[in-house]
């Protein structure tokens, strides 16, 4: 039938204007540095194991998304510092989409069975996702500060230096509180002049402040919307953590992690961590 008169050919002809010669101009591969990017997947298994490429790609793409998330979080934090609330909210909206992508892609790694993972695990040696410097950057930017985490990167001066700086800088939440203070909200001074490297405890006066915002959303719409954006970010982060735990339990059960952690039990304890405690505590007060 394909040779019949008037039949539609099963091929799309290139349009005249489409670029064909890249000997003197930039190509798609040139711009994205695909020669470098696609050469970065170097399985170590010997004899080669089919599923090692999956494991490498999964974690490399995660690092790329984390790089973008760090970029957006830094920008959102800087915008709050200059009281540019609207674009800061735009950054947070993008962060949530990145988080959803990171959570969804766990489903690909979940296709790795325990038997398949056992074939590649010896070649991971002591490497572990726990050692992701960019993941720690995200946590520090969101306010989960822990000086002990910096010590894990003593072998990598660049990563250690970046985390040390973030440890002593205000988090996204700290900058929100400073922004609220400049707008006339009764943020306790002790929260504005504190040691940024120390983890925060839940503050009852801050709960009271947010209770007032939630009691009259129309009067505090910008702050109200920002609070809900932050809750969305934390909720998405917790979904990522829980999905991570599920996949690890499915693939390795309760084995000790390659980096020396207790594995599933260690991941489960992370579910108790919170970035914005007052934004959750205030919900008990609403209504």
Sequence ranges of the binding site for heme? 244
209 CB contacts (<8 Å, ≥6 apart)? 180, 185, 186, 187
Query: What's the half-sphere exposure (Cβ side, CA atoms, 13 Å) at 244?
Result: 25
- For 191-222, b where at least 16 C-beta lie within 10 A, e where not — what string? beeeeeeeebeebeebbebbbebbeeeeebee
- Chain centroid to CA 130: 13
**Of 272, 271, 254, whose CA–CA distance to 263 is shortest?**
254
- In three-state secondary structure terms, 269 is helix
Please enumerate, by residue number, every residue annotated as part of a binding site for substrate.
55-59, 117, 121, 258
163 CB contacts (<8 Å, ≥6 apart)? 133, 136, 137, 140, 149, 150, 153
**Both structure tokens of 178:** 């400073």
Contact 103, 243 (CB under 8 A): yes
Distance CA 137, CA 145 (A): 10
Please enumerate, by residue number, every residue annotated as part of a binding site.
55-59, 117, 121, 244, 258
Number of residues written out for the chain: 287
| Token pair 């930017």 in the structure block, residue | 141
- For 4-36, b where at least 16 C-beta lie within 10 A, e where not — what string? eeeeeeeeeeeeeeeeeeeeeeeeeeeeeeeee
């Amino acid at each position: 039938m394909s040779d019949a008169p008037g039949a539609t050919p099963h091929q799309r002809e290139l349009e005249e204007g489409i670029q064909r010669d890249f000997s003197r101009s930039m190509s798609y591969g040139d711009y994205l540095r695909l020669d470098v990017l696609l050469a970065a997947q170097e399985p170590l298994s010997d004899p080669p194991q089919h599923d090692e490429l999956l494991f490498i790609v999964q974690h490399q793409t995660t690092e790329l998304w984390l790089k973008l998330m760090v970029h957006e979080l830094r920008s959102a934090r800087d915008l709050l510092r200059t009281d540019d609330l609207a674009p800061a909210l735009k950054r947070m909206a993008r962060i949530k989409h990145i988080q959803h992508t990171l959570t969804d892609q766990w489903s690909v790694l979940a296709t790795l069975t325990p038997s398949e993972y056992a074939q590649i695990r010896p070649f991971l040696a002591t490497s572990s996702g726990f050692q992701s410097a960019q993941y720690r950057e995200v946590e520090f930017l969101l306010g989960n500060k822990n000086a002990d985490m910096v010590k894990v990167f003593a072998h990598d001066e660049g990563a250690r230096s970046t985390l040390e700086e973030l440890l002593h800088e205000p988090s996204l939440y700290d900058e929100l509180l400073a922004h609220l203070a400049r707008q006339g909200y009764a943020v306790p001074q002790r929260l504005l002049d504190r040691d940024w490297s120390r983890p925060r405890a839940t503050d009852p006066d801050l709960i009271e402040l947010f209770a007032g915002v939630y009691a009259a959303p129309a009067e505090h719409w910008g702050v109200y919307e920002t609070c809900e954006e932050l809750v969305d970010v934390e909720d998405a982060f917790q979904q990522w953590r829980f999905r991570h735990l599920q996949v690890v339990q499915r693939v390795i059960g309760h084995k000790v992690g390659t980096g020396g952690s207790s594995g599933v039990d260690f991941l489960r304890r992370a579910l108790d961590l919170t970035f914005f405690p007052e934004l959750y505590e205030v919900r008990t007060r609403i209504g």
